[in-house]
Amino acid sequence: MFKDITLGQYYPSDSAIHKLDPRTKILTMIFYIVAVFLVNRIYAFIFPAIYVVSVMLIAKIPLRYIKNSIKPIKWIIIFMFILNLFLSTNVENPTVVFEWWILRITHESIYRSIYITLRLITLVAGTSLMTLTTTPISLTDGLERLLAPLKAIKFPVHELAMMMTIALRFIPTLLEEVDKITKAQLARGADFESGSIIKRAKSMIPILIPLFISAFRRADELAMAMESRCYHGGEGRTKMNVLKFHINDLYAILVMIGMCAVIVVIQMLLPIL
């Protein structure tokens, strides 16, 4: 039942975006976040929006994936919207729209709420572009390379990347194991479905303990297998697939920088709303 799970939200495709170097994608994502925070007029959100939509079109990802990526945080968005609606009232001479008891909605707070909501949506939609177009494993690879300079201050970059890789590798294996243990316990008369929340949580213990024990055993065996395969840390290690920047990577980064510049300039020229 867990055999076909996909990790993260990677959307497989063969587009130019998918083929970009993972380092480029991480960097453009950082630029994108900067761009979104540079926006201080509502109309300027059109630029990140155009960017997200066009990248998705180039990457051949259905646009409904934007909706999917926002879904998990919809409560946060709603909460932020309401909070801002009532709280961002400390401006000089506010134009009150609605007032009742201690609650007060002003023109400015409505503006502020819409602004925050748009910022959240564009942030999440844009950053999910990276996870949609990059496999977790190449992301790990990209991070390892990008963080490589931190080795100078003894930051365990390679070890972190290796841990991520192994975690990703063992998620399906452990899920399969959970399935197996659950069935074994059910066959012994375990009951996971009835009773209060506390009782149900307690009934998970007979699944978790065997799972932990087997995970430790696996870790031990894996360590031995890795050592047998000459693993001795990141020192002197090479890679089969060496990451290479292509001309497209340059374009991607230029587009991002261009967008930041456009946002700043347009907002200076058009200080409306």
Partner 1 sequence: MIEIKDLVYEYMTDEQENKVAALDGVSLKIEDGEFVCIVGHNGSGKSTLAKHLNGLLQPTSGDVLIDNMNTKDESKLLDIRQKIGIVFQNPDNQIVTTVVEEDVAFGPENIGIESGEIRRRVDESLKLVGMEKYAKNAPHMLSGGQKQRIAIAGMLAIEPDILVLDEATAMLDPIGRKEVLNIVSELNKKKHMTVIMITQYMEEAVHASRLIVMCKGKVMMDGETREIFKHGAQLRELSLDVPDIVALRDELILNGVKISNNAITETELAEELCR
Residues at the site binding partner 1, with contacts judged by CB under 8 A: 3, 136-137, 165-166, 168-169, 172-173, 176, 218, 221-222, 224-232, 236-242
Residue number, 64 or 232, with CB nearest to partner 1: 232
Residue number, 154 or 239, with CB nearest to partner 1: 239
Q: Tell me how far, at minimum, the Cβ of 245 lies from partner 1, in Å.
A: 16
Residue number, 12 or 271, with CB nearest to partner 1: 12
Q: Tell me how far, at minimum, the Cβ of 172 lies from partner 1, in Å.
A: 4
Residue number, 94 or 172, with CB nearest to partner 1: 172
Residue number, 11 or 51, with CB nearest to partner 1: 11
**Strand 96-100 and strand 103-106: pairing?**
antiparallel
Q: Tell me how far, at minimum, the Cβ of 135 lies from partner 1, in Å.
A: 8
Q: Tell me how far, at minimum, the Cβ of 159 lies from partner 1, in Å.
A: 14
Q: Tell me how far, at minimum, the Cβ of 149 lies from partner 1, in Å.
A: 21
- In angstroms and rounded to an integer, the radius of gyration of the C-alpha atoms of the chain is 25
Q: Tell me how far, at minimum, the Cβ of 125 lies from partner 1, in Å.
A: 27
Residue number, 99 or 227, with CB nearest to partner 1: 227
Largest Cα–Cα separation, the chain: 73
Dihedral angle, C-alpha 182, 188, 193, 194, nearest 10 °: -160
